[in-house]
Amino acid sequence: MPEKKLLFLSHSTKDGTDAYADLQKLAASLTADFDVKFDKDEDALPKGENWRPIINSWIENCDAAVVLVTPASVASEFCAYEWSILSYRRRYQQRFLVIPLFLGMKASTIKGRPDQIGEIIGYDDVAKIESIIPNLMQRLKAEIAERNDDRVQVTMISDALCKAVKDDALIEAVARKHKIDLGSYDLRAGKQLRFARKIMALGGLAPSVGALRDLKHSFTDGVKAETFRAIVELVGRCSWVDAGSAQHLRLCALDKAARVPLGLNADSQRTAEAYILAASDTHPAESWRAGAVLDAYGAENDFLARVRSAVIEAIGIEEQDPDNAAITNRLKLKSIINEPVFVLLRAAGLERAWIERLRTNELFAGVTFLILTGPDGTPGLLAEDAVLKPVLQPNFEQEVWSVYDYIVKHELKLDVA
């Protein structure tokens, strides 16, 4: 029987309170599927033990964390400490999952805190915890219980480093030279994995190019050279993508597809593709497929026809003008294997009524529509909470990709398409 994933519950509750009752209900619901750790569980934390090192180990080694946000936990210094470490791990571990439950509170009331819990997408203004437990269970299972770790981007990079760079001392030397702190907070991770996490978290390809260049000589033959190119591609396309927004995109795509309005406050098709890649956790060549309808739109019939063509392209049907049954069957197959299909739309020229009818069209029920709203958003077209909001400065996308192309071609001297 596979080992249960370790799930940490962060809270500040007192016996007899509603929040304590919610904590007990939550823990009882999760225990069958996860190894749940929290400081009110006497089996997990026996009386008389030195509890702080034990809790520290849970925070540092858990596979995911659920944070109960209440007025008491917001005011708690211990919770602030726990949340800061969880937020740190979330930044440097690409798939580490933190889910806040705002019990009778809105996330907006704690935005701007250093721990950034208020910025993480969770469950807002929960009145009864029973109402969100089924969805929470589904989300946890999808994100940690059934994940295939060897496909995660960071793990792919570390595996490539393990195969090509046999000497740990080289990794250490490169890290020292470029002031990359490998740290030791995750005792289960080797140097290659910690190096890969930091490379992905430096903020883009430009800050990491020096370290990558120093490792390039280890990737000499044809197969390894292609592996090195894949590493550069992953760093260049994903390290600047906001992990929380990518996770939101993933959850909407896997759970609700066309039923949920989903927008991105960015202009570039490549930005959307980078979010899709980050959410799918695969090699660039195997990322979730996307079609695009980005030109000026004519009448609604013309728009729908082009959406249909984009879906056909994204699901890989090669025959000319397949019938609707063939499209539906292929989309069902994609759904069965948890492989979402995306169509990118530019908000300019779209009409709200078109989008509403598009989402009720049964032919496209398995398609996730990602609307490029532009940095200013598109008031009225999408619900406010439906828009992914990474912090993108003006011309950010153009600068990112021009730097990427230049570095790949001139600094790392790789052929680019």
pLDDT one-digit tens code per residue, 197-230: 888 877 788 889 999 999 998 887 777 888 898 8
CATH architecture of the domain with range 5-147: 3-Layer(aba) Sandwich (3.40)
Q: Give the model's pLDDT for residue 45.
A: 56
CB burial of 259-276 (b: ≥16 within 10 Å; e: otherwise) equals eebbbbbbbbbebbbbbb
- Break the chain into its structural domains and give their ranges: 5-147, 150-240+400-411, 243-390
Q: What is the C-alpha to C-alpha distance for residues 397 and 415, in angstroms, rounded to an integer? A: 21
Q: Give the model's pLDDT for residue 145.
A: 47
250 pLDDT band, cuts 50/70/90, is: confident
414 pLDDT band, cuts 50/70/90, is: confident
Please give the average per-residue pLDDT across 362-382, as a whole number: 86
Residues 243, 94 contacting (CB under 8 angstroms): yes
232 C-beta neighbours (distance < 10 Å), count: 22
Q: Give the model's pLDDT for residue 417.
A: 53
pLDDT at 292 over 60: yes
Q: What is the DSSP letter of 209?
A: H
Distances in whole angstroms, Cα of residue 402 to Cα of each of 332, 396, 406: 38, 10, 6
285 pLDDT band, cuts 50/70/90, is: confident
Handedness of CA 183, 189, 190, 194 (dihedral sign): negative
Q: Give the model's pLDDT for residue 92.
A: 61
Instruction: Give me the phi and psi of 269, to 5 degrees please.
Output: -60, -35
Residues 281, 143 contacting (CB under 8 angstroms): no
Q: Give the model's pLDDT for residue 152.
A: 67
Q: What is the pTM of this model?
A: 0.67
Six-digit token string for 13: 């509750």
Distances in whole angstroms, Cα of residue 141 to Cα of each of 38, 134, 354: 19, 11, 35
Distances in whole angstroms, Cα of residue 149 to Cα of each of 94, 136, 286: 11, 21, 16
Of residues 344 and 337, more confidently modeled = 344
Q: What is the DSSP letter of 94?
A: T
pLDDT at 327 over 80: yes
* Distance, C-alpha 340 to centroid of its chain: 14
Q: Give the model's pLDDT for residue 67.
A: 95
Q: What is the pLDDT of residues 128-147, one digit of tens each?
A: 999 999 989 888 887 774 44
Q: Taking the domain 243-390, which CATH number applies? A: 3.40.50
Q: Tell me which residue of 289, 281, 236, 260 sits closest to 356, measured CA to CA.
A: 260
Q: Give the model's pLDDT for residue 257.
A: 81
Order of strands, edge to edge, in the sheet holding 367-372? Answer: 290-293, 341-346, 367-372, 263-264, 387-388
Q: What is the C-alpha to C-alpha distance for residues 99 and 65, in angstroms, rounded to an integer? A: 6
Residue 343, strand partner residues: 291, 369
Q: What is the pLDDT of residues 11-70, one digit of tens each?
A: 998 888 888 999 999 999 999 889 999 886 555 555 656 677 778 878 877 889 999 999
Indicate the average pLDDT of the chain.
84
Interhelix angle 168-177/205-216, nearest 10 degrees:
140
Q: Greatest CA span in the chain, whole angstroms? A: 72
Q: What is the pLDDT of residues 160-204, one digit of tens each?
A: 888 888 888 999 999 999 988 887 555 556 788 888 888 887 778
259 pLDDT band, cuts 50/70/90, is: confident
pLDDT at 312 over 90: yes
Q: Give the model's pLDDT for residue 1.
A: 46
pLDDT at 148 over 90: no
Six-digit token string for 296: 């000026």
Q: What is the C-alpha to C-alpha distance for residues 98 and 139, in angstroms, rounded to an integer? A: 11
Q: Give the model's pLDDT for residue 416.
A: 58
Q: What is the C-alpha to C-alpha distance for residues 274 and 239, in angstroms, rounded to an integer? A: 9
Pairing outcome for strands 64-69 and 97-103:
parallel
Please give the average per-residue pLDDT across 281-286, as a whole number: 76
Residues 347, 381 contacting (CB under 8 angstroms): yes
pLDDT at 321 over 60: yes
Please give the average per-residue pLDDT across 76-86, as a whole number: 89
Residue 316, strand partner residues: none
